[in-house]
């Protein structure tokens, strides 16, 4: 029966049999993999929690050797399949792969050709979704703290970040040395949309041919600008602009409930109705949050502002048959803070899927 599936996301340094079994034990049947090592060379290297970073960003970009090849992707897919998981999506390009696509720089055409090759590899490896976040500032401006129940450490936002971005940084990661005196020029929202349109015009034909859906994550955190750079989807209705670019099935949404809940306008339930009814949602980040831009905290699934049972009801009513994954969760006080937080979220989601009908 076509129904909502439960998935699980793993970061690059977590790709091993033990974690595949952990995901399966939590009830996941589908898996999402992040191939970009957000933490490399930074304060969070080797840690499992969410990167926050400082004005210099998360970590060093560019460790991509062999990762996006058909061989490597097929191997991961097979290793996961052996543990009962279907590798269904990859999440986020390494910034070195598309820095000049985001910045409209001199290597843009060359990077577009490399991206086309990557999309073909993803399709050839039998993975149906490439999720991306078209952003210059990336996931910046977040803070860490004991924001969830019982003082569980999670991430949040406390006001706008207007620090200019030094040249050498893109998508909150470092491409190399950061410039001491040169910053990225401020551009308009219109210009950023134009860059996205060009990116999709170049890649959608390849994606369609390869059977891959390109799925756009909304801007996290959803400010109008972060570090002086424009955001694309920082209100729920702005996803319409994406869908209007092309009616292709390969032009899809990676819908992040937490990010939509953090937005200041509209209503996350109406947005869910609209976008799942059209069949344009590839998969869903399932998390909860308290507060909205410019101040909010990520919290446990059962203590935030979002009514998660109502969410499942809407998904069922609209026959959403993709998968939902826990996105981030608060860290729990124990020997395995990340795994405990994830197990809690997965159990909660599994119970929602079992009990909520429409």
- # residues contacting Mn ion (CB under 5 A): 3
CA angle 244, 254, 64 (to 5 degrees): 110
- The answer to whether 141 contacts Mn ion (rule: CB under 5 A) is no
CB of 326 to Mn ion, least distance (A): 10
Cα(328)–Cα(5) distance, rounded to whole angstroms? Answer: 18
Q: Which stretch binds Mn ion (CB under 5 A): 18-26, 63-71, 96-104, 320-328?
A: 320-328
Give yes or no for residue 256 binding Mn ion (CB under 5 A): yes
By the rule CB under 5 A, 152 interacts with Mn ion: no
Cβ proximity to Mn ion: between 242 and 256 the closer is 256
Using the contact rule CB under 5 A, the part of the chain among 65-73, 170-178, 228-236, 280-288 near Mn ion is: 280-288
Q: Which is nearer to Mn ion, 49 or 327 (CB)?
A: 327
Q: d(Cα 22, Cα 312) in Å, to the nearest integer?
A: 24
> Which residue's CB is nearer to Mn ion, number 108 or number 234?
234
Secondary structure class of 166 (helix, strand, coil)? strand
Shortest gap between Cβ of 242 and Mn ion (angstroms)? 16
Q: How far is the CB of 91 from Mn ion (least distance, A)?
A: 9
CA distance 14 to 195: 33
Question: Least CB distance from residue 146 to Mn ion, whole Å?
Answer: 21
Q: Which stretch binds Mn ion (CB under 5 A): 52-60, 97-105, 171-179, 283-291?
A: 283-291
Is 327 a binder of Mn ion (CB under 5 A)?
Answer: yes
Residue with tokens 């470092």: 174
Between strands 152-158 and 295-299, the pairing is antiparallel
Check if the beta carbon of residue 115 is closer than 8 Å to that of residue 203. Answer: yes
The DSSP letter of residue 5 is E
Part of the chain binding Mn ion (CB under 5 A), chosen from 30-38, 91-99, 278-286, 350-358: 278-286
Q: What strands, in cross-sheet order, belong to the sheet with 288-292?
A: 143-148, 152-158, 295-299, 288-292
Q: Residue 174 or 285: which CB sits closer to Mn ion?
A: 285
Provide the strand spans (E) within the chain.
Answer: 5-10, 30-33, 86-91, 129-132, 143-148, 152-158, 169-170, 173-174, 213-216, 225-226, 229-230, 251-256, 281-285, 288-292, 295-299, 323-325
**Binding Mn ion by CB under 5 A: which of 285, 290, 297, 339?**
285
Listed ranges 75-83, 84-92, 250-258, 314-322: which one lies at the site for Mn ion (CB under 5 A): 250-258
Smallest separation (angstroms) from Mn ion to the CB of 14: 17
Q: Which residues contact Mn ion (rule: CB under 5 A)?
A: 256, 285, 327
């Amino acid at each position: 029966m076509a129904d909502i599936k439960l998935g699980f996301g793993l970061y690059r340094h977590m790709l091993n049999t033990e974690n595949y079994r952990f995901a399966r034990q939590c009830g996941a049947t589908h898996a999402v993999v992040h191939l970009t090592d957000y933490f490399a060379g930074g304060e969070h290297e080797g840690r499992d929690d969410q990167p926050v970073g400082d004005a210099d960003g998360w970590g060093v970009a560019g460790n991509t050797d062999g990762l996006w090849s058909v061989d490597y992707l097929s191997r991961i897919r097979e290793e996961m399949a052996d543990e009962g998981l279907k590798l269904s999506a990859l999440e986020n390009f390494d910034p070195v792969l598309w820095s000049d696509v985001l910045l409209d720089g001199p290597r843009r055409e060359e990077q577009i050709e490399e991206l086309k090759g990557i999309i073909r590899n993803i399709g050839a490896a039998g993975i149906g979704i490439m999720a991306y976040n078209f952003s210059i500032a990336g996931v910046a401006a977040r803070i860490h703290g004991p924001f969830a129940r019982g003082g569980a450490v999670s991430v949040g936002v406390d006001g706008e970040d207007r620090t200019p971005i030094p040249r050498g940084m893109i998508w909150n990661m470092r491409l190399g040395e950061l410039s001491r005196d040169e910053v990225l020029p401020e551009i308009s929202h219109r210009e950023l949309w134009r860059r996205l349109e060009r990116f999709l015009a170049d890649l959608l034909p390849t994606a369609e041919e390869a059977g891959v859906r390109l799925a756009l994550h909304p801007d996290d955190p959803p400010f109008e600008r972060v570090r002086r750079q424009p955001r694309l989807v920082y209100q729920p209705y702005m996803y319409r602009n994406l869908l209007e670019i092309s009616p292709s099935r390969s032009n899809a949404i990676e819908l992040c409930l937490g990010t939509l809940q953090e937005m200041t306008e509209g209503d996350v339930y109406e947005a869910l109705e609209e976008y799942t009814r059209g069949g344009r949602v590839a998969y869903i980040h399932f998390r909860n949050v308290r507060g909205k831009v410019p101040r909010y905290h990520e919290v446990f699934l059962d203590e935030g502002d979002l009514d998660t049972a109502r969410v499942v009801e809407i998904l069922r009513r609209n026959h959403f048959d993709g998968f939902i994954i826990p996105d981030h969760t608060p860290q729990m006080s124990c020997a395995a803070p990340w795994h405990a937080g994830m197990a809690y979220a997965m159990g909660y989601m599994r119970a929602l899927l079992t009990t909520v009908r429409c």
